[in-house]
A and B are shown apart, each in its own frame.
Chain A
Amino acid sequence: MKLIRKKAAEVSSSRSRFAGEAIDRRTFLRRSGLALGGAAVATTLPPLMMRKAQASMTAPKAGVDTKLVKSVCTHCAVGCGVYAEVQNGVWTGQEPAFDHPFSLGAHCAKGASVREHGHGERRLKYPTKLVGGKWQKVSWDEAINEIGDKMLEIRKTSGPDSVYWLGSAKFSNEQSYLFRKFYAMWGSNNGDHQARICHSTTVAGVANTWGYGAMTNSMNDMRHSKAIMIVGGNPTEAHPVSMQHMFYAKERGAKLIVVEPRFTRTAAHADHYVRIRPGTDVAITWGMLWHIFENGWEDKEFINQRVWGMDQIREEVAKWTPAEVEKVTGADEATVKEAARLMAENRPSTHVWCMGGTQHTIGNNNTRSYCVLQLALGNMGTSGGGTNIFRGHDNVQGATDMCVLSHSLPGYYGLSAGAWKHWSRVWDVDYDWVQSRFDQGSYEKSKGKPVKPMNTKGFPVSRWIDGVLEDKANIAQKDNLRAMVFWGHAPNSQTRGLEMKKAMEKLDLLVIIDPYPTASAVMHDRSDGVYLLPAATQFETYGSVTASNRNLQWRDKVIEPLFESLPDQTIMYKFAKKLGFAEQFTKHIKVNDDEPLIEDATREFNRGMWTIGYTGQSPERLKAHQKNWHTFNPNTLQAEGGPVDGEYYGLPWPCWGTPEMKHPGTPILYDTSKPVAKGGLNFRARFGVERNGESLLADGSYPVGNEIGDGHPEFSDKLLKELGWWDDLSADEQAAAEGRNWKTDLSGGIQRVAIKHGCAPFGNARARAVVWTFPDPVPIHREPLYTSRYDLVAKYPTYEDRKSHYRLPVRYASIQAKDYSKEYPLILTSGRLVEYEGGGDESRSNPWLAELQQEMFAEINPADANDHGIKDGQQIWVEGAEGARLKVMALVTRRVAKGVVWLPFHFAGHLQGEDRRAKYPSGADPFVLGEAANTALTYGYDSVTQMQESKCSLCKIERA
């Protein structure tokens, strides 16, 4: 016997034995990244010692009491249940949550490793500031004082609008709500969060079509679908546990259709795959609709009763003949027709879309075209149908609903004086005081009249850099941005990285509040004026979180905040105190030791969010749902027996009226087969009652039990009186409802009475296929600014440049005027990896995840690789059309079509070939660093929401 000392070929020999010749992305990357990953760990501790060190701290101990805590995964909006085992305050184990209604015990890689957050090896450990290029530890008090003083000085010289409050989809609902209230009371609309750059075009497009801008059904409801079409989405990586429900349907005969430029892992499981050129979503959708109209597959009765404007759509669709569709999208007639046929012949069919559809200059056109397709097929308001729009971050739906945005107050009330008055009443503060907090100047006009910053949209996060860099004369506020607060936001999720670096360097003050330092700490070359404040994770506090399906789930606190980190609500309160509005900020919210009471925040938004029915979900009801996970049927999400019998899990909004009204939540939006009181609904009357002499109200379609028996406008005190239902209100309710409507009546009486008579408080109208208030009322195709098909620009040009939108000039035609496709011949697009999330700082700092993806890479087609003499595994330069260069590894694969380069967007820490690891505060650098894809992605913003164009640009590649 001889000992065989040989190590190099182990992985590959076993792999090739098992898997033949195939080599996959992971093997490839792991092998190539081995040295790097090893080095990253070796710099701290050799693996065996690391194991010992870890084991002594976080391993479960024999014979010690174990507490089981229920929480919810913080990595995506599927919202999987988490069971945490805690011993003596240490998170020592994670068990599957079998009884959880969405996940049934399942997790993806991220969810299965969340316990690492409780180790926090690479977390930010204490407040730190940058002094002369060195990170220096400071106390919380020092940090708050110094930052606060600087902000107050900026406020004095440049006005409140020169500070930007960038919030987060990582906040709980309560924190989101408090944060929105916080920057309202600071006196600016310059606040925003990730929703701007993920689904803002969905929210705007969908809400303007039928009332609410959210996922209409649920992941679980997809079990009842007969066909599922996914456009611009990759749930096997982005929402893995949703696949459990899709497979459930698929194994019972449902057809899975994937429409995508890239042959994703989801596409690998599809029955039918349609490859398109990036940025041609409207064209492919109209191409399908062309076949639907051609074959009479549309649902005529549904359209007659519940849709307005389909005729105008028909006119546009008629232009999208199979030949034109193939010319623009690249998909041939048979493939497109088959997709349309599968959707039409297997109803109810559902439509899923994600970032591939939303992140475009015509994102709002894309989302509306998807809605129109579902309306034409009559797939709305029915179980198994709907538009199942998968949201990204764990609470991006909730943070959107709380309107951590630059254009609205919580509940989508907008920024009008009426909206501010409504929320001033809820906060119980003087409207005049709120008004006095804002800049009193005026920098733009609306309908010829000057408007004040209080009532105008702030900068969107996608363009905060222009708020810093744009000439002061061109921006619609007093001064440029001078201070930036990144409160739970990774900068590498935004495009135009080099300009961002410049903007960061120009600021007076850069504040990062996060459990991890993020790339904001290292991507600039500042030497002073940067603060890092450690925030607690959601496992170190508690509160509610809204899953993609609109369900509110309650999280319990798993462990106390690690190191010196503090929960976000505490940090907000400390700042409010320093900045001088703590009293108003928490007027009706109890504060314990600088921490506002979460339950009081829930109750406060319950009192104000009538528009979307965030009013019935009291903390008590949500906690009861959490305790009774096991009583909900995963097929319907309805509780069967137990203390919350008959209610839908998480009281999906709208959960109408007061908590006492006990509305069960609305599991499927616009579903007329149930009474409103039991979760039924119809399309919202949001756009008036008539248009061009035609009624916009529903015709002969209404939810079961609707006493009006037809379409009707939204409810107000006047309508109640006209209908003779006013006396159904109690005396107190009458007093509160006088002069108000269903959105502003703080007693909830108007909603209660409308529902008592079987009516939806928001009226009963038609969906509109044509949004006459948008730049393109009928969704049309327009070529991207940086298009690979310059020959199509003449026929499908982009918009004219605009002078002011969200306070900034926006360029369209002036960029498209130049043909970049000769110099930059390849399409550049981006997407997700299952192991990482968002900017990736959190997940790249988790060794269990980081080990699986150690190297930033670019997928390129073999043909393009050969044309450029590039071999698999070589380092290459990817240069974006605005000149930024990324040094990444080439992964040569047929997953992408010829002419397309695909980048994952979770990496950061390298900049144009330079490794910036040394710039992180020591011990807080993520295990894995890499080039940020968005450094190379280019200018381009949606015409309605200023969503960034990050799915379609141009690049060139060369060997490094």
Chain B
Amino acid sequence: MARMKFLCDAERCIECNACVTACKNEHEVPWGVNRRRVVVLNDGVPGEKSISVACMHCTDAPCAAVCPVDCFYTTDDGIVLHDKDLCIGCGYCFYACPFGAPQYPQQSAFGVRGKMDKCTFCAGGPTADNSDAEYAKYGRNRIAEGKLPLCAEMCSTKALLAGDGDLVADIYRQRVIRRGGRPQTWGWETAYQS
């Protein structure tokens, strides 16, 4: 079975934010919640690089390890999902996550956390696939439709890759061989211990 992974090729990422707005669009994520965002290193000077980051769907996910109500589960192909009905919005997973992926919509002006929201690898959550209920809580389930995460599918330069980790690695390896240089698989060591 495939092991789903994300990879952002920093040599190609141009910080255009297509991935970010594609995600907003696909799941109608509200203002203030960012399942995906682009971070920049060395902004404005030679060596500037950008990387698009969301939940990496870690092997042995640290978020799951700290969750006091055990609302996380991992699919057989490695997608880390959670049940919003159980989530109590405690914020532990945010502190556990090496990528700062979990997000908490504000429920009122006083900043009480809402249920945690994060990238689902466009795979919805624990409700009937592609139901209206699933959409309202988790966004669209593209995986169930036989599609891949929209952020990667719409990336302006195909910097962001998503899918079976072996296939992703193949494409990336080819690119590195073609252009020379050292592979820089941002976040892979942390997320996938590989």
Residues of A within 8 A of B (CB): 1, 3-4, 6-7, 10-11, 13-15, 17-20, 22-27, 37-38, 41-42, 46-48, 50-52, 54-55, 58-62, 93-94, 96, 98, 104-113, 115-116, 236-237, 240-241, 243-244, 247, 250-252, 263, 265-266, 268-269, 273, 834-835, 847-849, 851-852, 893-895
CB-CB under 8 A from B111, the residues of chain A are 7
A927, closest chain B residue (CB)? B31
Q: Are B16 and A236 in contact (CB under 8 A)?
A: yes
Is B170 in contact with chain A by the CB < 8 A criterion?
Answer: no
A851 in contact with B31 given A4-B90, A269-B14 (CB within 8 Å): yes
Q: Are A108 and B135 in contact (CB under 8 A)?
A: no
Nearest chain A CB to B35's CB is how many angstroms away? Answer: 12
Complex CA gap A236/B18 in Å reads: 12
Q: Are A4 and B18 in contact (CB under 8 A)?
A: no
The interface bits of chain B over 160-186 (1 if a CB of A lies within 8 angstroms of the residue's CB, else 0) are: 000000000000000100110000000
22 A–B contact pairs at CB < 8 A?
A: A1-B90, A14-B94, A14-B97, A15-B39, A22-B41, A24-B41, A26-B40, A47-B32, A55-B135, A59-B28, A60-B135, A93-B140, A104-B158, A105-B153, A106-B18, A243-B14, A251-B178, A263-B44, A269-B11, A851-B31, A851-B32, A895-B45
CB-CB under 8 A from B83, the residues of chain A are none
Nearest chain A CB to B171's CB is how many angstroms away? Answer: 12
CB-CB under 8 A from B48, the residues of chain A are 263, 265, 268
Is B20 in contact with chain A by the CB < 8 A criterion?
Answer: yes
Is B126 in contact with chain A by the CB < 8 A criterion?
Answer: no
Q: Are B28 and A263 in contact (CB under 8 A)?
A: no
Nearest chain B CB to A63's CB is how many angstroms away? Answer: 9
The 5 closest A-B pairs by CB, nearest first: A14-B100, A24-B40, A895-B44, A109-B17, A268-B48
Is B131 in contact with chain A by the CB < 8 A criterion?
Answer: yes
Nearest chain A CB to B84's CB is how many angstroms away? Answer: 13
A834 in contact with B17 given A47-B106, A94-B25 (CB within 8 Å): yes
Q: Are A852 and B68 in contact (CB under 8 A)?
A: no
The interface bits of chain B over 38-61 (1 if a CB of A lies within 8 angstroms of the residue's CB, else 0) are: 111111111111100100000000
Task: List 4 other contacts, CB 8 Å, given A10-B94, A247-B11.
Answer: A22-B43, A48-B114, A111-B154, A848-B24
Is B156 in contact with chain A by the CB < 8 A criterion?
Answer: yes
CB-CB under 8 A from A7, the residues of chain B are 111, 113
Complex CA gap A335/B144 in Å reads: 54
Q: Are A243 and B156 in contact (CB under 8 A)?
A: yes
Is B194 in contact with chain A by the CB < 8 A criterion?
Answer: no
Is B157 in contact with chain A by the CB < 8 A criterion?
Answer: yes
CB-CB under 8 A from A106, the residues of chain B are 18, 154-158
CB-CB under 8 A from A241, the residues of chain B are 156-157
Find A22's partner among B17, B40, B90, B178 (CB 8 Å cutoff).
B40
Q: Are A107 and B156 in contact (CB under 8 A)?
A: yes
Q: Are B25 and A115 in contact (CB under 8 A)?
A: yes
Q: Are A113 and B43 in contact (CB under 8 A)?
A: no
The interface bits of chain B over 120-145 (1 if a CB of A lies within 8 angstroms of the residue's CB, else 0) are: 00000000001110011000100000
For chains A and B in complex, what number of residue pairs have CB atoms within 8 angstroms?
202
Q: Are A25 and B16 in contact (CB under 8 A)?
A: no
Q: Are B22 and A112 in contact (CB under 8 A)?
A: yes
Q: Are B175 and A251 in contact (CB under 8 A)?
A: yes
Q: Are B22 and A250 in contact (CB under 8 A)?
A: no
CB-CB under 8 A from A24, the residues of chain B are 39-41, 43, 50
Complex CA gap A22/B90 in Å reads: 29
CB-CB under 8 A from A19, the residues of chain B are 39-41
Nearest chain A CB to B8's CB is how many angstroms away? Answer: 12
Complex CA gap A6/B132 in Å reads: 33
Q: Are B38 and A26 in contact (CB under 8 A)?
A: yes
Q: Are B44 and A893 in contact (CB under 8 A)?
A: yes
A18 in contact with B53 given A47-B105, A54-B28 (CB within 8 Å): yes
A848 in contact with B41 given A47-B30, A55-B28, A265-B48 (CB within 8 Å): no
Nearest chain B CB to A49's CB is how many angstroms away? Answer: 9
- Chain B: interface secondary structure? loop
Q: Are A893 and B43 in contact (CB under 8 A)?
A: yes
Complex CA gap A237/B156 in Å reads: 11
CB-CB under 8 A from A244, the residues of chain B are 156-158
Complex CA gap A108/B106 in Å reads: 28
CB-CB under 8 A from B157, the residues of chain A are 106, 240-241, 243-244, 247
Q: Are B156 and A240 in contact (CB under 8 A)?
A: yes
Nearest chain B CB to A80's CB is how many angstroms away? Answer: 9
Q: Are B15 and A236 in contact (CB under 8 A)?
A: yes
Nearest chain A CB to B186's CB is how many angstroms away? Answer: 9
Nearest chain A CB to B108's CB is how many angstroms away? Answer: 7
Find A852's partner among B20, B46, B109, B158 (CB 8 Å cutoff).
B20
Find A62's partner among B49, B50, B131 (CB 8 Å cutoff).
B131
CB-CB under 8 A from A27, the residues of chain B are 39-40
B178, closest chain A residue (CB)? A251
Q: Are A108 and B92 in contact (CB under 8 A)?
A: no
The interface bits of chain B over 94-122 (1 if a CB of A lies within 8 angstroms of the residue's CB, else 0) are: 11011110000111110101100000000
Q: Are B108 and A46 in contact (CB under 8 A)?
A: yes
CB-CB under 8 A from A1, the residues of chain B are 68, 90
Q: Are B21 and A849 in contact (CB under 8 A)?
A: yes
A240 in contact with B18 given A96-B153, A96-B154, A247-B157 (CB within 8 Å): yes
Q: Are A112 and B18 in contact (CB under 8 A)?
A: yes
Q: Are A112 and B30 in contact (CB under 8 A)?
A: no
B133, closest chain A residue (CB)? A62
B41, closest chain A residue (CB)? A22
A48 in contact with B44 given A4-B91, A848-B24 (CB within 8 Å): no
Nearest chain A CB to B12's CB is how many angstroms away? Answer: 5
Nearest chain A CB to B145's CB is how many angstroms away? Answer: 10
Complex CA gap A41/B108 in Å reads: 13
CB-CB under 8 A from B41, the residues of chain A are 19-20, 22, 24
Which among B16, B95, B98, B158 has the highest number of chain A CB atoms within 10 Å?
B16
CB-CB under 8 A from B107, the residues of chain A are 48
Nearest chain B CB to A904's CB is how many angstroms away? Answer: 14
Is B79 in contact with chain A by the CB < 8 A criterion?
Answer: no
CB-CB under 8 A from B68, the residues of chain A are 1
CB-CB under 8 A from A48, the residues of chain B are 30, 105, 107, 114
B132, closest chain A residue (CB)? A62
A37 in contact with B91 given A236-B15, A852-B20 (CB within 8 Å): no
Q: Are A17 and B100 in contact (CB under 8 A)?
A: yes
Find B45's partner among A3, A25, A266, A894 (CB 8 Å cutoff).
A894
B48, closest chain A residue (CB)? A268
Q: Are B14 and A848 in contact (CB under 8 A)?
A: no
Complex CA gap A3/B113 in Å reads: 10
Is B150 in contact with chain A by the CB < 8 A criterion?
Answer: yes
Complex CA gap A108/B42 in Å reads: 22
Find B179's partner among A98, A105, A113, A251 (CB 8 Å cutoff).
A251
CB-CB under 8 A from A98, the residues of chain B are 153
Q: Are A252 and B14 in contact (CB under 8 A)?
A: no
Complex CA gap A37/B175 in Å reads: 39
CB-CB under 8 A from B45, the residues of chain A are 263, 894-895
Q: Are B32 and A38 in contact (CB under 8 A)?
A: yes
Q: Are A250 and B179 in contact (CB under 8 A)?
A: yes
CB-CB under 8 A from A20, the residues of chain B are 41
Q: Are A50 and B154 in contact (CB under 8 A)?
A: no
Nearest chain B CB to A17's CB is how many angstroms away? Answer: 7
CB-CB under 8 A from B11, the residues of chain A are 247, 269
Complex CA gap A894/B114 in Å reads: 39
Complex CA gap A54/B26 in Å reads: 13
Nearest chain A CB to B66's CB is how many angstroms away? Answer: 10
A241, closest chain B residue (CB)? B156
CB-CB under 8 A from A4, the residues of chain B are 90-92, 95
B42, closest chain A residue (CB)? A22
Nearest chain B CB to A922's CB is how many angstroms away? Answer: 20
Q: Are A112 and B154 in contact (CB under 8 A)?
A: yes
Which among B18, B45, B49 has the highest number of chain A CB atoms within 10 Å?
B18
Q: Are A894 and B44 in contact (CB under 8 A)?
A: yes
Q: Are B15 and A834 in contact (CB under 8 A)?
A: yes
Complex CA gap A244/B154 in Å reads: 12
